[in-house]
């Protein structure tokens, strides 16, 4: 249900905005994403350097469960290029079940020794949500640009969006049962919960403190500065979405609930239907903070002296990696390999923190959802005047259309004739200007 929900909401939102307003909404959303993600990484770095949870003894003394981590030869550059390639898919249908990924194919000699590794781009199972989002953004903007001719298509996607939202609402009635089952299965799957918490308690505390500061101090402060309104009633209205994020550990799966919470708060749906799907892919405050803390924690366990160069590397790489992180459970563990590779640290050490990732994954997903929601409030406040003006124009146009229908006039033919008249007038003006310039010469 997530795929049709994202597609219909994005297209409906952008088809309802004009080109100027779409540009303002997009640019201000990106500004917010960059600001909050950068702050999250810096906050994570500062906390882990001050608390210093990593101790080389932990690595040798740790007796908790260690899981196999699938190694990847792909570098940060490869991941970035994969991100760009997936933004512009070759086949739209293929985006629904496959995405592009760089893998290294090994060449062997007669003795079985690896001669070289060649990077190759292949298609792997998994929804290419980013490519779909880019297509829907362009599609929605073009619908708004063609004017009256695009209205039937806009109305179609509005109807699809309404139906999908109703279906998701019905499905979410059984959500609490599923959420409770997911959490219970994770807790019961840990053989020595007390020992694991004892060994990794300080690391967990560092991540949790950072997430709490980001969610309840930084994001409300940005919202207050931008809107001059109390952020905590807004935050209270997100409680159901946060609880769903805690259970599912997926910001994409939480989208239907977040939509409903923001609509009840009073955020314009033209903002929520654009900013939320985009934010669920690129605005990962919790993931960025977690990757910064976890990578430096592993560096501390390996006795690496973190200089300013290492800190800058972690900050930049964690920011970029979080942008490319999929909005699926435990995506942060996958993207953390990029950060560890940049620091030349053993990827196997990720297995040390997997035992507690079930909890931290849910907490950072909740922060991601809170960040996306505050982003909607931030953008809505900055674009409210433009949205109100656009709404008044739409009301006036709808009233005119209703009057035309009452008098038996075909609305589509009327708007088509108007567009043709504007085009003819513009061409006539250009011709007269050219004639005057010729006479002057």
pLDDT, tens digit, for every residue of 381-399?
988 887 777 665 554 455 5
Confidence bin at 219 (pLDDT 50/70/90): very high
Whether residue 115 is contained in a domain is answered as no
**Secondary structure letter of residue 191 according to DSSP:** S
Whether residue 308 is contained in a domain is answered as yes
Confidence bin at 96 (pLDDT 50/70/90): confident
User: Mean pLDDT lowest for which of 263-272, 338-347, 420-429?
Assistant: 420-429
Q: How wide is the angle at C-alpha 34 spanned by C-alphas 324 and 280, nearest 5°?
A: 45
Asked whether residue 69 carries a pLDDT value surpassing 50, the answer given is no
**Partners of 103 in the β-ladder:** 120
- pLDDT, position 53: 85
Local structure of 124: helix, strand or coil: strand
Asked whether residue 406 carries a pLDDT value surpassing 90, the answer given is no
Whether residue 430 is contained in a domain is answered as no
Q: How far apart are CA 273 and CA 270, in angstroms?
A: 6
- pLDDT, position 327: 47
Q: Which of 204, 154, 152 is nearest to 360 (CA)?
A: 204
Asked whether residue 47 carries a pLDDT value surpassing 90, the answer given is yes
Confidence bin at 255 (pLDDT 50/70/90): confident
Cβ neighbours of residue 219 under 8 Å, at least 6 residues apart?
A: 36, 231, 285, 370, 371, 374
User: Mean pLDDT lowest for which of 122-126, 226-230, 316-320, 397-401?
Assistant: 397-401
pLDDT: which is higher, 422 or 22: 22
CATH code assigned at 152: 1.10.3860.10
Whether residue 46 is contained in a domain is answered as yes
Tokens (6 digits) for 201: 């308690």
Whether residue 341 is contained in a domain is answered as yes
Residue with tokens 């809505």: 380
Average pLDDT over residues 223-250: 90
**Secondary structure letter of residue 174 according to DSSP:** G
Q: Would you say 371 and 219 are in contact if contact means Cβ atoms under 8 Å apart?
A: yes
Domain count, the chain: 1
The overall average pLDDT reported for the chain is 77
- pLDDT, position 22: 79
Average pLDDT over residues 319-343: 65
- pLDDT, position 429: 57
Average pLDDT over residues 251-263: 87
Q: How far apart are CA 134 and CA 118, in angstroms?
A: 30
Whether residue 410 is contained in a domain is answered as no
- pLDDT, position 99: 83
Domain containing residue 272: 2-66+132-395
Confidence bin at 428 (pLDDT 50/70/90): low
332-379: per-residue pLDDT in tens?
666 677 677 767 777 777 777 777 788 888 899 999 999 999 999 999
pLDDT: which is higher, 85 or 281: 85
Q: Would you say 37 and 288 are in contact if contact means Cβ atoms under 8 Å apart?
A: yes
pLDDT: which is higher, 359 or 380: 380
Asked whether residue 312 carries a pLDDT value surpassing 90, the answer given is no
Q: Of the segments 6-15, 99-108, 212-221, 412-421, which one has the largest average pLDDT value?
A: 212-221
Q: How far apart are CA 310 and CA 313, in angstroms?
A: 5
171-185: per-residue pLDDT in tens?
767 766 766 676 676
Tokens (6 digits) for 33: 């994403």
Q: Which of 54, 96, 2 is nearest to 329 (CA)?
A: 2
Local structure of 278: helix, strand or coil: helix
Q: Which of 144, 152, 155, 147 is nearest to 18 (CA)?
A: 144
Q: Of the segments 117-126, 154-163, 201-210, 335-344, which one has the largest average pLDDT value?
A: 201-210
- pLDDT, position 163: 85
Q: How far apart are CA 396 and CA 401, in angstroms?
A: 9
- pLDDT, position 58: 58
Whether residue 291 is contained in a domain is answered as yes
Whether residue 78 is contained in a domain is answered as no
User: Mean pLDDT lowest for which of 103-117, 252-266, 329-343, 400-414?
Assistant: 400-414
Asked whether residue 94 carries a pLDDT value surpassing 70, the answer given is yes
- pLDDT, position 215: 94
Residue with tokens 């085009």: 423
Q: How far apart are CA 347 and CA 333, in angstroms?
A: 10
Average pLDDT over residues 139-143: 87
C-alpha dist (Å) from residue 132 to 10, 88, 91, 151, 168: 10, 9, 10, 22, 20
For residue 275, count CB atoms less than 10 angstroms from its CB and return exposed for 0-12, middle for 13-18, buried for 19 or more: buried
- pLDDT, position 105: 78
């Amino acid at each position: 249900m997530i795929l049709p929900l994202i597609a219909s909401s994005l297209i409906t939102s952008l088809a309802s905005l004009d080109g100027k307003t779409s540009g303002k909404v997009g640019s201000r959303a990106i500004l917010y994403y960059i600001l909050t993600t950068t702050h999250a990484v810096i906050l994570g770095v500062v906390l882990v350097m001050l608390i210093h949870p990593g101790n080389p003894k932990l690595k040798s003394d740790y007796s908790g469960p260690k899981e196999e981590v699938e190694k990847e030869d792909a570098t940060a550059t490869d991941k970035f290029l994969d991100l760009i390639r997936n933004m512009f898919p070759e086949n739209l249908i293929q985006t629904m079940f496959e995405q592009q990924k760089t893998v290294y194919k090994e060449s062997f000699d007669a003795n079985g020794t690896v001669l070289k590794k060649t990077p190759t781009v292949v298609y792997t199972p998994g929804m290419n949500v980013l490519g779909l989002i880019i297509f829907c953004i362009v599609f929605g903007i073009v619908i708004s640009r063609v004017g009256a001719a695009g209205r039937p298509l806009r109305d179609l996607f509005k109807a699809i969006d309404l139906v999908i939202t109703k279906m998701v609402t019905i499905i979410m009635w059984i959500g609490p049962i599923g959420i409770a089952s997911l959490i219970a299965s994770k807790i019961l799957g840990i053989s020595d919960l007390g020992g694991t918490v004892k060994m990794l308690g300080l690391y967990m505390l560092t991540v949790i403190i950072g997430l709490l500061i980001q969610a309840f101090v930084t994001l409300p402060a940005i919202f207050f500065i931008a809107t001059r309104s109390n952020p905590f009633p807004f935050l209270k209205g997100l409680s159901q979405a946060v609880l769903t994020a805690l259970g599912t550990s997926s910001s994409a799966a939480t989208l239907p609930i977040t939509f409903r919470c923001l609509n009840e708060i009073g955020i314009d749906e033209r903002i929520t239907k654009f900013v939320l799907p985009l934010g669920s892919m690129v605005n990962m405050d919790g993931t960025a903070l977690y990757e910064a803390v976890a990578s430096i924690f592993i560096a501390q366990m390996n006795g690496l002296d973190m200089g300013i160069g290492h800190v800058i590397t972690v900050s930049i790489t964690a920011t970029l990696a979080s942008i490319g992180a999929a909005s699926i459970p435990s995506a942060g563990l996958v993207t953390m390999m990029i950060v560890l590779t940049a620091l030349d640290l053993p990827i196997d050490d990720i297995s040390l923190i997997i035992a507690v990732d079930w909890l931290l994954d849910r907490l950072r997903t909740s922060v991601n959802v809170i960040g996306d929601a505050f982003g909607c409030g931030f953008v809505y406040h900055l674009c409210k005047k433009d949205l109100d003006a656009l709404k008044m124009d739409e009301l006036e146009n709808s009233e005119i259309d209703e009057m035309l229908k009452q008098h038996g006039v075909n609305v589509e033919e009327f708007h088509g004739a108007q567009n043709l008249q504007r085009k003819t007038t513009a061409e006539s003006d250009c011709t007269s200007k050219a004639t005057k310039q010729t006479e002057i010469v």
